[in-house]
C-alpha cells in the first residue's frame, strides 16, 4: 500500500497535540525525569517478577537494568567529582548499591537507586518550572508600543527601542509598554502585577505608570522615564533570578555532612580490606569482611531515616491543600520563626466589594438605600470596571431587580453616566484635590462633584477613606444622593490564621503590601496585626529589602503572597508560600510551597507538620546511627556473620522507614492543625 504525498495529512487531534507539546517542553523533556521513570518502572516490574516466583535470572536482569537506568547519571557525576578531588554521596550510593548486588541484596540496591534518581528528577523539574516562569514574566510587557514622532505622527516600534524621553500612546485595553509618566489623558490602570493594589488606580498627568500594567478606559500619553532593561518588570526578573541562585545551594542536613561521611566510609572500607591482608588473612575472608562492613556502614538507613518522614509529610500536606515542593522546603518550614503576609489576594479576596452605601440628605426624595443601589446597578450594568462590577454584584446579592439603562457612557478616569427611567445617574470619583491642575481636569468635571456642592458629602467621603475604602459619589439629576464605599474583603479565616501563626512561631506576623497605608491599616486592624508590624506602599524591591532586613535580625522568614510583585520577596525569603487559586504563574513557580485551596489556616498547620516531621527525622537518625555503630563495632571487634549484618542493616532500614511513614495518616494533619490552634505563646 502506498501513500499519495500530495494528499493533505489530517492534523493531530488537540489532545494528541497537547501531549506532544508536553513531551517536548514539559517535565518529560528533561532527561532526569525520563531516566528516573524508566528506573522506577524496571524496579516495579522486577519486584512483581520476584514476588510472582519468576526465574531469578529474570528479576535480576530487571533490577540490574534499573541500576543502569537510574544510576549512570549520579555515577557519572560522582566520577566527575572525583576528578575534582571531591567525593559525594551519589557515587557512594552507587557503590553501596553495587555492593548490595555483589552479596545478593540486589533488591535493596535497586531501591536505593530509584530513590536517588527520583530525587534528582524532582529537583530538575522544579528548576525548569521556575526558569520558564521567569522568562514568561517578560511577556507581561508588550513587544511593541505606539510612539509619537516630532511631527505628532504615530509609529509602532519595538518596546526595546524606546528611549528615555519618548512619548507613547496607550489606548484602552492595552498594556503599557514602558515605565513612564502620564503627560496627557486620563484613565484607570490595573497595576496589581506591580504594586498588588486590588483596585485600578486613576491616572492623570504627572502620575507614574509601569510597563506591563493594563490600561482601562481612556487614552494615555506617557513619557518614557526608564529604558526597557531598567523597568520594574525587568528588575523583578533580575531579583527572582538572583534570589533563586542564592537559595539553590540549600541542602538537607544529611547532605551537608555527606562529604566527610563518604570519605570516612571509603577509607574505613579500604582499611578493613587491606589491613587483614597484611596480617595474613585469606583474600576471600578479608573481602567478605570488607563487604560486610560497607553494607552495615552504608548510609542507606540514614537516607531512609531522613526521607520517609519528609516525603510522608509532603504527601499528607498535599492531600490537605498544601503543595510542598521538596524535602528541603519542608525541613526549612520547620525552622520558620516569623511569617509575613501580603495583603491583596492573600489576607483579602483580591477583588473589590461594596462595603457601604451612605445616602445623603438630598436622597430623601423617595430613594432609600436599596432603591439607590438598584439605580446604581442599572447605571453600572454596562461597565467593565471592577468597581462597577462590585456594585452590580452587591445588588444581585440583595436580590434587587432593575431595568436596563436607556443610555450609557463611560468617562475615562472619572466614572459612568447613564439614563435610567428618564433620570440621569452619574457615578464617579470625588473631585480632585486643589493641588491638581484644573486644566487637566476639565474633561472630567461632568461626572465629578465638588465638595462644596449642595449635598454635603465631604465628611462622608473622608470617613470612608479614613476607614480604607475607595469612595465613589452617586448623583441623580446632578444632585449628590449617596456615597458608595468599596473595599477589598478580608478573608473570613484571616484573623484566626494570624493568631495561630503568631502563637506557633512566638513572633507577631507582619503585613507587607504595596497598597496604600489606609487600606493596609484597615486590614491589619481586622486581622489582629499590630500597627507597628505593617509596612505599606512597597514596590517589589522594597518587599525584598524588608525580608532581608528581617533575615539580618536573625529571623527565618516565611512570606505568604500571590502576585507577580511578590515573586522577588518569595524567592528571597527563607520560605516562600503562594496562594494557589488566584496566584500568578510566577508566584506559584517561585514559591517553595503553594496553598492550593486558599485556606490561610493551612499556613500554621503545615509549619506544625514540618516541625513534627523534623522531630521524627531526629529520632530516626538516632535509631539508624545506633544500629550502624553496633554493627560496625561487631564487625571490627568480633565476627559478624554476613547474613546477620545484612539482616541488621535491613532491619534498621525497615524500622526507620515505618516510623517515618506514620505521618501518612490523616491524623497527622489533624494533630498538626490542633497544635497550631491550641499552642500559646510562652
For residues 669 and 324, the answer to whether their CB atoms sit within 8 Å is: no
For residues 592 and 324, the answer to whether their CB atoms sit within 8 Å is: yes
Distance, CA of 521 to CA of 376 (rounded, Å): 29
For residues 607 and 625, the answer to whether their CB atoms sit within 8 Å is: no
In sequence order, what are the beta bridge partners of 392?
Answer: none
In sequence order, the 6+-apart residues with CB closer than 8 A to the CB of 214 are: 173, 174, 175, 176, 189, 190, 191
In sequence order, what are the beta bridge partners of 416?
Answer: 410, 427
Distance, CA of 220 to CA of 224 (rounded, Å): 12
Which residue in the block uniquely carries the three cell numbers 540486589?
A: 106
pLDDT value of position 258:
60
| Set of cell numbers at residue 295 | 553494607
Per-residue DSSP letter, 663: G
pLDDT value of position 5:
32
Distance, CA of 466 to CA of 464 (rounded, Å): 5
| Coil, strand or helix at 143 | coil
| Set of cell numbers at residue 494 | 484571616
Per-residue DSSP letter, 536: -
Identify the CA nearest to 271 among candidates 626, 632, 648, 627.
632
- Write phi, then psi, for 104 (nearest 5 degrees): 95, 0
**C-alpha angle 675/581/533, rounded to 5°?**
55
Q: Which residues are catalytic?
A: 342
- Write phi, then psi, for 13 (nearest 5 degrees): -55, 160
Q: In this structure, are strands 144-148 and 167-170 parallel, antiparallel, or unpaired?
A: antiparallel
Task: Write the DSSP assignment of 365-407 as a string of letters.
Answer: TT--HHHHHHHHHHHHTT--SHHHHHHHHHHHHTT---PPPSE
pLDDT value of position 462:
83
Spans of the chain below 50 pLDDT: 1-25, 130, 134, 137, 243-251, 365, 433-454, 681-682
Sheet strand arrangement including 557-561 = 322-324, 593-595, 575-579, 557-561, 338-341, 510-512, 534-535
Treating both helix axes as pointing N-terminal to C-terminal, what angle do 386-397 and 369-380 enclose, rounded to 10 degrees? 130
| Set of cell numbers at residue 347 | 489576607
| Set of cell numbers at residue 84 | 575534582
| Set of cell numbers at residue 398 | 440583595
Which residue in the block uniquely carries the three cell numbers 583474600?
A: 283
For residues 675 and 653, the answer to whether their CB atoms sit within 8 Å is: no
Dihedral in degrees, nearest 10, Cα atoms 387, 392, 395, 399: -150
Distance, CA of 647 to CA of 57 (rounded, Å): 23
What end-to-end distance do the CA atoms of the chain give, in Å? 83
**C-alpha angle 410/461/394, rounded to 5°?**
55
For residues 416 and 409, the answer to whether their CB atoms sit within 8 Å is: yes
CB-CB neighbours of 400 under 10 Å: 17
Distance, CA of 373 to CA of 391 (rounded, Å): 8
Distance, CA of 208 to CA of 224 (rounded, Å): 10
CA distances from 72 to 40, 42, 363, 499 (A): 14, 15, 80, 50
Which residue spans within 372-434 are E strands per DSSP? Answer: 407-411, 415-420, 423-428
Identify the CA nearest to 204 among candidates 409, 418, 435.
435
pLDDT value of position 268:
82
| Set of cell numbers at residue 465 | 477613606
Distance, CA of 585 to CA of 104 (rounded, Å): 48
CB-CB neighbours of 680 under 10 Å: 7
Which residue in the block uniquely carries the three cell numbers 557515587?
A: 91
Consecutive H or E run containing 595: strand 593-595
pLDDT value of position 11:
38
Residue 231's Cα: distance from chain center in Å?
A: 23
Identify the CA nearest to 40 among candidates 141, 146, 143, 116.
116
| Coil, strand or helix at 345 | helix
Identify the CA nearest to 482 among candidates 565, 362, 366.
362
| pTM for the structure as a whole | 0.62
Amino acid at each position: 500500500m502506498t501513500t499519495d504525498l500530495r494528499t493533505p495529512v489530517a492534523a493531530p487531534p488537540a489532545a494528541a497535540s497537547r501531549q506532544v507539546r508536553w513531551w517536548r517542553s514539559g517535565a518529560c523533556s528533561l532527561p532526569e525525569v525520563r531516566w528516573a521513570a524508566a528506573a522506577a518502572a524496571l524496579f516495579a516490574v522486577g519486584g512483581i517478577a520476584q514476588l510472582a516466583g519468576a526465574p531469578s535470572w529474570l528479576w535480576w536482569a530487571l533490577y540490574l537494568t534499573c541500576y543502569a537506568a537510574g544510576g549512570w547519571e549520579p555515577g557519572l557525576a560522582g566520577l566527575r567529582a572525583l576528578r575534582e578531588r571531591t567525593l559525594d554521596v551519589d557515587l557512594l550510593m552507587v557503590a553501596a548499591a553495587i555492593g548490595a548486588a555483589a552479596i545478593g541484596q540486589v533488591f535493596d540496591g535497586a531501591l536505593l537507586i530509584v530513590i536517588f534518581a527520583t530525587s534528582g528528577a524532582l529537583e530538575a523539574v522544579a528548576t525548569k518550572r521556575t526558569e520558564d516562569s521567569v522568562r514568561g514574566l517578560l511577556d507581561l510587557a508588550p513587544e511593541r508600543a505606539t510612539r509619537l514622532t516630532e511631527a505628532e505622527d504615530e509609529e509602532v516600534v519595538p518596546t526595546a527601542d524606546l528611549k528615555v524621553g519618548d512619548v507613547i500612546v496607550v489606548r484602552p485595553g492595552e498594556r503599557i509598554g514602558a515605565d513612564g509618566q502620564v503627560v496627557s489623558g486620563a484613565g484607570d490602570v490595573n497595576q496589581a502585577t506591580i504594586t498588588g493594589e486590588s483596585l485600578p488606580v486613576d491616572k492623570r498627568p504627572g502620575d507614574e505608570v509601569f510597563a506591563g500594567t493594563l490600561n482601562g478606559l481612556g487614552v494615555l500619553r506617557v513619557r518614557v522615564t526608564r529604558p526597557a532593561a531598567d523597568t520594574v518588570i525587568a528588575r523583578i526578573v533580575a531579583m527572582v533570578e538572583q534570589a533563586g541562585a542564592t537559595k539553590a545551594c540549600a541542602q538537607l542536613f544529611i547532605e551537608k555532612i555527606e562529604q566527610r561521611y563518604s570519605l570516612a566510609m571509603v577509607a574505613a572500607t579500604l582499611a578493613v580490606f587491606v589491613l587483614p591482608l597484611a596480617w595474613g588473612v585469606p583474600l576471600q575472608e578479608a573481602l567478605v569482611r570488607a563487604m560486610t562492613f560497607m553494607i552495615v556502614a552504608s548510609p542507606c538507613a540514614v537516607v531512609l531515616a531522613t526521607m520517609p518522614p519528609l516525603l510522608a509529610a509532603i504527601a499528607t500536606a498535599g492531600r490537605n491543600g498544601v503543595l510542598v515542593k521538596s524535602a528541603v522546603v519542608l525541613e526549612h518550614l520547620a525552622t520558620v520563626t516569623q511569617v509575613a503576609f501580603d495583603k491583596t489576594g492573600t489576607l483579602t479576596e483580591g477583588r473589590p466589594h461594596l462595603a457601604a452605601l451612605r445616602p445623603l440628605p438630598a436622597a430623601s426624595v423617595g430613594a432609600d438605600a436599596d432603591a439607590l443601589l438598584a439605580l446604581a446597578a442599572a447605571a453600572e450594568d454596562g461597565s467593565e470596571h471592577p468597581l462597577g462590577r462590585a456594585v452590580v454584584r452587591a445588588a444581585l446579592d440583595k436580590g434587587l431587580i432593575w431595568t436596563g439603562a436607556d443610555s450609557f457612557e463611560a468617562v475615562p478616569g472619572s466614572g459612568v453616566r447613564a439614563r435610567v427611567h428618564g433620570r440621569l445617574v452619574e457615578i464617579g470619583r470625588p473631585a480632585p484635590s486643589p493641588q491638581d491642575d484644573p486644566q487637566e481636569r476639565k474633561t472630567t468635571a461632568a461626572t465629578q462633584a465638588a465638595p462644596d456642592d449642595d449635598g454635603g458629602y465631604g465628611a462622608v467621603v473622608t470617613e470612608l477613606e479614613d476607614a480604607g475604602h475607595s469612595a465613589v459619589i452617586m448623583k441623580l439629576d446632578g444632585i449628590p444622593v449617596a456615597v458608595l464605599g468599596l473595599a477589598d474583603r478580608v478573608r473570613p479565616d484571616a484573623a484566626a490564621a494570624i493568631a495561630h501563626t503568631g502563637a506557633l512561631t512566638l513572633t507577631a506576623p507582619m503585613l507587607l503590601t504595596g497598597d496604600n497605608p489606609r487600606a493596609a491599616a484597615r486590614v491589619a486592624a481586622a486581622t489582629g496585626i499590630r500597627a507597628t508590624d505593617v509596612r505599606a506602599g512597597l514596590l517589589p524591591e522594597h518587599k525584598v529589602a524588608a525580608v532581608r532586613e528581617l533575615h539580618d535580625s536573625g529571623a527565618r522568614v516565611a512570606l505568604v503572597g500571590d502576585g507577580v510583585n511578590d515573586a522577588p520577596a518569595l524567592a528571597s525569603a527563607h520560605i516562600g508560600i503562594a496562594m494557589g487559586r488566584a496566584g500568578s504563574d510566577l508566584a506559584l513557580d517561585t514559591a517553595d510551597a503553594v496553598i492550593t485551596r486558599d485556606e490561610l489556616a493551612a499556613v500554621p498547620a503545615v509549619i506544625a507538620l514540618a516541625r513534627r516531621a523534623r522531630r521524627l527525622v531526629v529520632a530516626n537518625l538516632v535509631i539508624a546511627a545506633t544500629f550502624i555503630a553496633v554493627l560496625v563495632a561487631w564487625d571490627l571487634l568480633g565476627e559478624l556473620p554476613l547474613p546477620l549484618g545484612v539482616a541488621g542493616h535491613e532491619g534498621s532500614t525497615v524500622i526507620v522507614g515505618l516510623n517515618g511513614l506514620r505521618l501518612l495518616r490523616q491524623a497527622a494533619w489533624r494533630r498538626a492543625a490542633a497544635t497550631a490552634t491550641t499552642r500559646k505563646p510562652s
